[in-house]
């Protein structure tokens, strides 16, 4: 009697450590070999797009933080650039450099998290701890400028909410040096490690043609040898002024994706250094008397109408708003009063500033882009992150749509897994760097 062979269906996730609680894979197995994969997403649906359509443009930034929450600054920048395209406004040069500096810091934190988590899931706990240590150096920089570590809501339509702090460049160079030491250590621990090499080489392979046909971008596409990077193909902000390379692989496997991300981190660090060398000084509007007033005192006096001397004083703000005062305002924000909130000294110091602030924050008033639509692509940590916004002339979007880089990669996941063995699922899924916040949005 002939022996019958049947395949086995196995649920992996969502309650599985490697699936991070947000992805379900229905695997068809022939022994250990993967014959088929059905990918089920939607376990972290956040209704980002519909939420943005119910609030004013400026209120969307906290929602963008929670798309790819590992590199939220890039999300902020992408959304702001799209609205600015609708409005037809340009921002000051210094603000452009600040956006790029913070975006590239954010990109490095994302890649550190991806490689560290993937290494940990393969048993390399030491590398994970080293990578998180390096990420902590950069989080300290992010917190110093934005006032928060993760959900930062730092970028504003027309600029950024605060300037770089005094001496920030020197501290950034020190942190960059420390991060480079960690990257060297991680390279020594992983690249020449036979176990890691064998688990990654020729595993999770996708061809150049399949990657393009699925619309994949970012490190995943570049690992196949396609040197597509939005910062080169469609430069925005000041990227065309920076000297950087686009690392690529050859085989499109997990190992190439690891090499591409490691190389991209060095390129991002180079870009940050170049930005500090090129960034113009912040314009200071008028000389101050040297009188520094606590923010709470300014608010209390303003409520009583005792605003005399406000415009000649500097307000002492908490770290969240430090660098957002009058003397920095013109250097980091556009001059459009119908778009940009006035400096705190103006808001509390004169009736024009108070009215300007009031109009921009009151529902039904706010920012009013003309009727039309705009799409703006940026290079996110995982690939092309694009925002599409339709305006009907009101103070909130009529339609918001996000092009998340994770989505087409997840659609192509079966092509990467079929033919490999069950144990290869973990490194391949880790190399995708799937972030459910932008995938399910």
Per-position pLDDT tens, the chain of length 441: 566 778 888 898 788 888 888 899 999 998 889 999 999 998 888 899 999 999 999 999 999 999 999 999 999 999 999 999 999 999 999 999 999 999 999 999 999 999 999 999 999 999 999 999 999 999 999 999 998 988 999 999 999 998 998 889 999 999 999 999 999 999 999 998 999 999 999 999 999 999 999 999 999 999 999 999 999 999 999 999 999 999 999 999 999 999 999 999 999 999 999 999 999 987 544 444 457 778 788 778 878 888 777 777 777 777 667 777 888 888 899 999 999 999 888 888 888 888 999 999 998 899 999 999 999 999 999 999 999 999 999 999 999 999 999 999 999 999 999 998 999 999 999 998 989 889 988
In whole angstroms, what is the distance from residue 89 CA to residue 335 CA?
9
Give the contacts of 376 (CB within 8 A, at least 6 positions apart).
78, 81, 82, 85, 236, 386, 387
In the structure encoding, which two tokens stand for residue 182, read together?
């960690």
287: helix, strand or coil: coil
User: Exposure string (b/e) for 228-258, b if CB count within 10 Å is 16 or more?
Assistant: bbbbeeeebbbbeebebebbbbebbbbbbbb
**How confident is the model at residue 286, as a pLDDT?**
43
**How confident is the model at residue 3, as a pLDDT?**
67
In the structure encoding, which two tokens stand for residue 360, read together?
């921009």
In whole angstroms, what is the distance from residue 263 CA to residue 90 CA?
32
C-alpha distances (whole Å) from 73 to each of 104, 121, 262 are 9, 27, 20
Q: Give the DSSP H/E element, type plus range, for residue 10.
A: strand 8-12
In the structure encoding, which two tokens stand for residue 174, read together?
């020190």
In whole angstroms, what is the distance from residue 398 CA to residue 171 CA?
42
C-alpha distances (whole Å) from 287 to each of 94, 284, 290, 306, 326 are 20, 8, 9, 22, 11
C-alpha distances (whole Å) from 67 to each of 47, 49, 108, 109, 378 are 11, 11, 17, 15, 14
In the structure encoding, which two tokens stand for residue 116, read together?
């560290």
User: Rg of the chain over CA atoms, in angstroms?
Assistant: 24
Q: Which of 160, 169, 167, 168 is nearest to 329 (CA)?
A: 160
Q: 337 and 313 in contact (C-beta within 8 Å)?
A: no
Q: 169 and 128 in contact (C-beta within 8 Å)?
A: no
Which top CATH class is 58-157+164-281?
A: mainly alpha
Give the contacts of 96 (CB within 8 A, at least 6 positions apart).
237, 238
**Entry pTM:** 0.93
Q: 418 and 99 in contact (C-beta within 8 Å)?
A: no
In whole angstroms, what is the distance from residue 416 CA to residue 206 CA?
6
What is the domain partition of the chain in residue ranges? 58-157+164-281, 292-361
DSSP structure class, residue 376:
E
In the structure encoding, which two tokens stand for residue 425, read together?
């699922």
In whole angstroms, what is the distance from residue 79 CA to residue 67 CA?
11
Phi first, then psi: what are they for 248, rounded to 5°? -135, 160
Angle 125-146/168-190 helices, nearest 10 degrees? Answer: 170
Check the CA dihedral 142-44-47-413 and report its sign.
Answer: positive
**How confident is the model at residue 288, as a pLDDT?**
47
DSSP 39-71: EE--TT---HHHHHTTS-GGGGHHHHHTSSTTS
């Amino acid at each position: 009697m002939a022996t019958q062979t049947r395949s086995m269906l196995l649920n992996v996730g969502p309650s599985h450590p490697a699936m991070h609680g947000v992805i379900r894979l229905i695997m068809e197995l022939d022994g250990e070999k993967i014959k088929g994969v059905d990918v089920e997403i939607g376990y972290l649906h956040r209704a980002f797009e519909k939420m943005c359509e119910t609030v004013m443009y400026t209120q969307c930034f906290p929602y963008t933080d929670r798309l790819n929450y590992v590199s939220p600054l890039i999300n902020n920048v992408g959304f702001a650039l799209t609205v600015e395209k609708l409005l037809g406004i340009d921002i000051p040069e210094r603000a452009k450099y600040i956006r790029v500096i913070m975006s590239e810091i954010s990109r490095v934190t994302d890649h550190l998290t991806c490689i560290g988590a993937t290494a940990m899931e393969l048993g390399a706990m030491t590398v994970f701890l080293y990578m998180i240590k390096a990420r902590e150096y950069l989080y300290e920089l992010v917190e110093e400028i934005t006032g928060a570590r993760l959900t930062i809501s730092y970028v504003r339509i027309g600029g950024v909410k605060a300037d770089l702090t005094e001496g920030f460049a020197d501290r950034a160079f020190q942190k960059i040096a420390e991060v480079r030491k960690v990257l060297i250590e991680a390279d020594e621990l992983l690249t020449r490690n036979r176990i890691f090499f064998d688990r990654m080489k020729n595993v999770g392979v996708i061809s150049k043609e399949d990657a393009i046909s699925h619309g994949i971008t970012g490190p995943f596409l570049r690992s196949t040898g396609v040197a597509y990077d939005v910062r080169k193909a469609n430069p925005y902000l000041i990227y065309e002024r920076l000297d950087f390379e686009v690392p690529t692989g050859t085989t499109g496997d997990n190992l190439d994706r690891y090499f591409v991300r490691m190389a991209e981190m060095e390129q991002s660090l180079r870009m940050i250094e170049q930005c500090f060398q090129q960034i113009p000084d912040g314009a200071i509007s008028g000389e101050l008397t040297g009188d520094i007033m606590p923010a709470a005192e300014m608010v209390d006096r303003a409520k009583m109408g005792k605003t005399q001397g406000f415009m000649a004083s500097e307000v002492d703000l908490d770290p969240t708003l430090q660098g957002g005062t009058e003397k920095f305002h013109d250097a980091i924000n556009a001059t459009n009063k119908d778009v940009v909130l006035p400096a705190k000294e103006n808001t509390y110091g004169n009736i024009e500033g108070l009215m300007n602030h009031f109009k921009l924050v009151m529902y039904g008033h706010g920012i009013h882009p003309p009727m039309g639509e705009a799409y703006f692509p940026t290079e996110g940590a995982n690939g092309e992150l694009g925002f599409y916004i339709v305006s009907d002339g009101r103070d909130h979007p009529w339609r918001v749509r996000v092009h998340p880089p994770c989505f087409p990669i997840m659609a192509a996941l079966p092509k990467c897994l079929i033919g490999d063995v069950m144990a290869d699922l973990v490194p391949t899924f880790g190399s995708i760097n799937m972030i459910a916040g932008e995938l399910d949005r």
